[in-house]
Amino acid sequence: MSVYKPKNSPFYHFDFQINGRTFHGSTKVRNKREAEQVERDLREKAKAEIELAKRLGGAPMTFDLAAGRYWEERGQHHRNH
């Protein structure tokens, strides 16, 4: 479990990695036991999303892919491209 409570927050936060991808954020609960349950649910949801992306052939977004996608969808249509 990777649930912790930062000193400047009333809520517990989570932080975990699956297949090299990092997931982190607030659980929005004040009880550690509830926070651990939220983290387990989020971990299962993340695993399902990663498996779906693998089945659909999705690769992780790199800067090169993002820049190319931006150019195709937006950049080439600007007045001063």
Is residue 78 predicted with pLDDT exceeding 70? yes
The whole-angstrom separation of Cα 80 and Cα 25 is: 39
Q: Of 5-9, 58-62, 63-67, which range is least confident?
A: 58-62
Are 32 and 3 a contacting pair, CB within 8 Å?
A: yes
Is residue 81 predicted with pLDDT exceeding 90? no
Are 44 and 36 a contacting pair, CB within 8 Å?
A: no
Tell me the average pLDDT across 36-58. Answer: 87
Confidence class for position 13, pLDDT limits 50, 70, 90: very high
Length of the chain: 81
pLDDT value for 16: 94
Decide which of 7 and 20 is more confident.
7
